[in-house]
Structure 1
Amino acid sequence: MAEPDQWRHMASAPKNGSRILVTIRPSEQGAAEVDLAYWSHGDQFGPEGWRASDSSPGRIIAYPEPELKCWMPMPAANLSRSSMPSPWEGEDEQQLDGSGI
């Protein structure tokens, strides 16, 4: 099983509604950052897609697929870690999870 604190390709991210950490690509709005997100199958508030976990009815924060670079499972509680992991800053061509595909 892969290490829980490893960044992985978005293609392998779970689309079952579970919360995951994602690296948001840098843009003219700011540097790359990490957010907590989940896959929504769509509802009366918005279409299917990635949403920030702090979305609420009437205030959906949606992430288009190209905006998300990679993902990581939620780390286990660790009282010695005081912040989220750093965003992935490697090249897109590099393997994030070691797969040869």
Structure 2
Amino acid sequence: MVIRASEQAAAEVDVVKWGFPQHSSDACWIAVDSDAECQFVYTDMELVFWMPLPTSFPTRRAALLDADLPEPPHLSEGGGSGI
């Protein structure tokens, strides 16, 4: 998933899963490297672009290779140093 730049952080790419965070009944995007006690969740407003990870199943992998996937958007930090 590509995450929008915000006042708190620059734009980034993160591996996420769709699920229910601890102590919540609402599904959302959860960073897969989050600690179980302190999960990092993303809202739909933070999402810019996403695509599924490649599968190891040959029939599904072939179908994904044939699909026309969109180009990822160009992310700019608005004149920052890029560091």
TM-score (norm 2): 0.56
- Per-residue CA deviations over 1:42-82 (Å, capped at 9, x if unaligned) read 26x14321100112321110101101111022257xxxxxx
C-alpha change, 1:88 and 1:32, in structure 2 (3 Å) is farther
Q: Give 1:33's aligned amino acid.
A: E
* Higher helix residue share: 2
- Which structure has the greater CA radius of gyration? 2
> 1-side partners of 2:46 and 2:18: how far apart?
14
**Percent of pairs identical after alignment?**
40
- Report if the CA contact (8 A) 1:46-1:60 is conserved: no
TM-score (norm 1): 0.48
In the comparison of the two structures, how many residue pairs are matched? 57
Map of 1:89 onto structure 2: 74
Cα RMSD (Å): 2.2
- Per-residue CA deviations over 1:8-32 (Å, capped at 9, x if unaligned) read xxxxxxxxxxxxxx00001112321
Q: Give 1:58's aligned amino acid.
A: E
* Higher strand residue share: 1
Question: Which consecutive unaligned segments of at least 5 residues does structure 1 have?
Answer: 1-21, 77-86, 91-101
Write out the 4+ residue segments of structure 1 that deviate beyond 3 Å after TM superposition. Answer: none
Higher RCO (CA-CA < 8 Å; seq separation 6+): 1
Determine if the alignment matches structure 1 residue 70 to structure 2 residue 53: no
Q: Give 2:13's aligned amino acid.
A: V
